[in-house]
Chain A
Amino acid sequence: MANVFASIGDWVNERAPGLMPVYRKHMTEYYAPKNFNLWYYFGSLALLVLVNQIVTGIFLTMNYDPSAAGAFDSVQYIMRDVEWGWLIRYMHTTGASLFFVVVFLHMFRGIMYGSFKKPRELVWLLGMLIFLVLMAEAFMGYVLPWGNMSFWGAKVIVSLFGTIPKIGPALQEWIMGDFLPADATLNRFFALHVIALPIVLLLLVVLHLAALHEVGSNNPDGVDVKHGPKGNRWDALKPADGIPFHPYYTVKDLVGVGFFLLIAAFIIFFAPTFGGWFLEHDNSIAANNLVTPAQIKPVWYFTAFYAIVRMIPSAFGTAVWGVIGMFGSIALLFALPWIDAGPVKSIRYRGTGYKVALTIFVVAFLCLMAIGMDLTDEYFPKLFGAGIDITLWDNVFGRIMTLTYFGFFVFLWLYTHLGWEKTKPVPERVTTHD
């Protein structure tokens, strides 16, 4: 048996001698720092979820009907009549939400350990592009079941483009192909969701990994192992603190995959709607342009950005400022490598000001999420009395959090460009591994 495999291997190598060197470069001879911690699981998990979305998506496509007349019924057909259709659909819907969970954590890891800093700016930019495309992909996928929340969510999100002065209304119509989300909208969102955006996403993921493997991985100490001493057990010229990605990190990531699948399976089998967070109750009602849901709000992973739109008031006769604010909040993340000029990468050796600012930034982001989810409408009266003016409280709180979000970037620029940061000495070599 082993002989058969070896001879097949030889046969392929003779004809494609470039394949094994590529495999070695990215797997067995890709030397990753040996001190990755918990935060380094989320990259491989994002890849796992991407594969899950594509595979389950293919099977959903076989039974889904992308028409305004048939979409809602076809989802119920999948849930009831297609063999294992319910499992495939729940894997896809749960995967969508967990995609954002792992991507948010992956991005936070990058910010915290300075993984976006030189020489990894390109890795960060490609990653941010992935995030942007992922948001578009998720939004269009959310519209496809053609429930009432899909319909009204689509209407609200597309109407954001309608706030652009002069061209807005025409642009909005052009996007939808109608005056309201309708059959034409659903057809094109389906095409974009199952073909166009996944191809772009896959290309960007390949580039993201290729760019990473050119410069090598960062680590929790922010020490560049490529600049450290050379020579390890496998290669005298490679970093002393590096270990081959395969098998060391493949087996380690397998443990992360196990834990992740446990959580995912628990949700899929016992709480697929996740109390209305992953699958909203109003989406059990078919799209109806005459009946507005009591609250129109996006799915949880968009709520922080949606809150920023809501919190920025109209001025000079246009509401476009909120939309500019929302896109600005993402654009600032793109610019992070140039906003944060601190010489030290990892939060472990950065100034106290940075640690405090990052903590406040995370709190502000979570508070914006809570506002976008309308949790504040529910909890403010409970906390501060039923008599309070909830709109006023929401606006004041939301605007403070919006300012805090943007303030983080302003502070970071001042803090690192004006030399206010007092850093700790960075060690020569990585300090820990588990």
Chain B
Amino acid sequence: MTKPTLLKRLFPAFALSLGLLLAGQPAAHAEDDGQLMASGANIRDQASLQRGARLFFNYCVGCHSLKYLRYSRMADDLGLTEQQVMQNLDFTGAKFDDPVISHMPAEDAAKWFGKAPPDLSLEVSAKGADYIYTYLNTFYLDPKSPIGWNNTTLPNAAMPFPLWELQGEQTAVTRPGSDEVEKLELAHPGKLTPGEYQQATRDLVNFLEYVSEPAALQRHHYGVWVLLFLALFTLLAYLLKKEYWKDVH
């Protein structure tokens, strides 16, 4: 066997430093200043995805499209039948194979809100699940805002709070002598308890995470088998190498 050389000793250090460099996550989601709540989204939880889809199609699709998602793909991935989707989730008259397009005209929406509601197909890829989860939990009543609502995660957001009847109305407690929001308090409870509301937004964010990359379900499904195959392949290659090299001295 090889006697350890300086370089054999150097290699782990080099590999380690490269690894450390790569392991540090970039300040990926620009808005993340360490204040985000963990969404706990898990796209393998199909029941949660189904609940999230129901929330999306009841509360969000009025303004927001998912232009890269087809109803039929969603049915396949969420374990729903065509009938279930068309009767309960398709409110726009779209065909089963059509993408999810909101009926709100973008031009009008831009006039009404100052900014057309963005397509949410890739929102989780762009902003992160935690960001959206936190955003949906930090709306509060703000009499100074033209739409009556404000948000501590995205101050002066153009979006009114569509889930208010579920969460209720939060108000801001400001720091004495300033406008800075210290914390939010639930002034009027909604239909859901705070715990139920957090679970509801978790489901919704989970659904959006699925929408941003439906292939993730397939990735996880096949990935394990690919790794097992490659482990076996590597083992066989190693044994083959040992066999060939046993006469090299």
Chain A residues with a Cβ under 8 A of chain B: 34, 37-39, 73, 76, 79-80, 86-87, 90, 101, 108, 112, 220, 243, 247-248, 251-252, 254-255, 257-259, 261-262, 265-266, 268-270, 272-277, 280-282, 284-285, 293-295, 300, 347-348, 355, 359, 362-363, 366, 369-370, 373-375, 377-379, 432-434
Contacts and interface: CB of A to CB of B under 8 A. Distances in A.
B68 interface: yes
A202 B152 CA distance: 54
B131 to A, nearest CB: 10
A164 to B, nearest CB: 31
A80 B68 contact: yes
Given A366-B21, A375-B24, A294 B223 contact: no
A248 B244 contact: yes
Given A262-B230, A262-B231, A262-B234, A373 B26 contact: yes
Interface stretch (B53-61, B121-129, B164-172, B198-206): B121-129
Contacts of B125: 273, 281, 284
Nearest to A279: B125
9 contacts: A87-B215, A262-B230, A270-B223, A285-B122, A295-B27, A300-B22, A347-B6, A374-B26, A377-B27
Given A255-B237, A378-B24, 11 more contacts: A39-B7, A251-B240, A254-B237, A257-B237, A262-B230, A268-B223, A269-B223, A295-B30, A347-B6, A355-B6, A432-B3
Contacts of A38: 8, 11
B175 interface: no
Contacts of B248: 34, 243, 248, 433
A220 B4 CA distance: 12
B241 A254 contact: yes
B213 A79 contact: yes
Contacts of A434: 1-2
A252 B244 CA distance: 9
Interface residues on B, range: 35 or more
Interface string B65-96: 00011000100000000000000000000000
B111 interface: no
Q: Is the interface of A mostly helix, strand, loop or mixed?
A: helix
Contact of B28 (A220, A281, A362, A377): A281
Interface of B: 1-3, 5-8, 10-11, 14, 17-18, 21-22, 24-30, 68-69, 73, 121-122, 125-128, 212-215, 218-220, 222-223, 226-227, 230-231, 233-235, 237-238, 240-241, 244-245, 248
B241 A255 contact: yes
Nearest to B22: A277
Contacts of A76: 68, 121-122
Contacts of A272: 219
A262 B45 CA distance: 27
Contact of B17 (A87, A90, A251, A366): A366
A76 B67 CA distance: 10
Contacts of A265: 223, 226-227, 230
B237 A258 contact: yes
List of 7 A-B pairs having minimum Cβ-Cβ separation, nearest first: A269-B223, A258-B234, A294-B30, A86-B215, A284-B125, A276-B28, A284-B126
Contacts of B226: 265, 269
A293 B26 CA distance: 14
Contacts of A274: 22
A363 B223 CA distance: 35
Contacts of A355: 6
Most buried by B among A265, A269, A277: A269
Contacts of B5: 220, 348, 432
A247 B248 CA distance: 12
Contacts of A269: 219-220, 222-223, 226-227
